[in-house]
């Protein structure tokens, strides 16, 4: 099995799913971080920027590494805004379930099943399921082109 973090490295934790696996569909990886598309039901534009080395907290990174990671988050946010025109982008770095530093970058739409509540909240009772399914399918069809655009933008920004 190929591990994301090197098993011999002190930055590898054998019980950490983000050390063992990409954490989703890989969009881009370099030596410091990776950008993945997370397959979260009902939220097709859900991405994560994951620091490759196992660190638990934002303050575990040097100022230079924090700036580098946040620059990647900004590029992902910018591309999602340009390509999808969401009502809002949600950014979160919780790590409560997986204590490996990662940022959630989620395009949110006024028609999604939870808007304006967080994606982790209970679904709205008034969500129009059939209409939302059409919108979700249309958005999912845009994902391959979106992933190409993300790669281009991240590479152009030096990632």
pLDDT tens, per residue, the chain with 159 residues: 344 555 445 577 788 899 999 999 999 999 999 999 999 988 999 999 999 999 999 999 999 999 999 999 999 999 999 999 999 999 999 877 888 999 999 999 999 989 999 998 888 766 567 777 888 899 999 999 999 999 999 999 999
Contact 18, 102 (CB under 8 A): yes
| 37 membership: H or E segment, kind and range | strand 33-37
Query: Can you spell out the DSSP letters for 97-145?
Result: SS-S-EEEEEEE-TTSTTTTS-TTSPPPTT--HHHHHHHHHHHHHTHHH
The full set of domains in the chain, from first to last, is: 17-156 (3.30.428.10)
100: nearest Cα among 42, 14, 38: 14
């Amino acid at each position: 099995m190929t591990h994301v973090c090197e098993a011999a490295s002190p930055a590898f934790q054998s019980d950490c799913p983000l050390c063992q696996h990409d954490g989703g569909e890989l969009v881009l990886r370099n030596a410091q971080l990776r950008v993945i598309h997370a397959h979260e039901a009902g939220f097709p534009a859900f991405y994560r920027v994951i620091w490759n080395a196992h660190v638990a907290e934002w303050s575990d990174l040097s100022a230079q590494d924090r700036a580098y990671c946040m620059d990647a988050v900004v590029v992902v946010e910018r591309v999602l805004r340009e390509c999808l025109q969401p009502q809002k982008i949600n950014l979160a770095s919780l790590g409560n379930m997986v204590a490996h530093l990662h940022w959630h970058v989620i395009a949110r739409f006024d028609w999604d099943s939870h808007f304006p509540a967080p994606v982790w909240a209970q679904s709205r009772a008034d969500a129009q399921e059939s209409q939302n399914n059409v919108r979700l399918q249309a958005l999912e069809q845009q994902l391959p082109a979106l992933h190409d655009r993300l790669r281009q933008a991240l590479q152009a920004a030096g990632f």
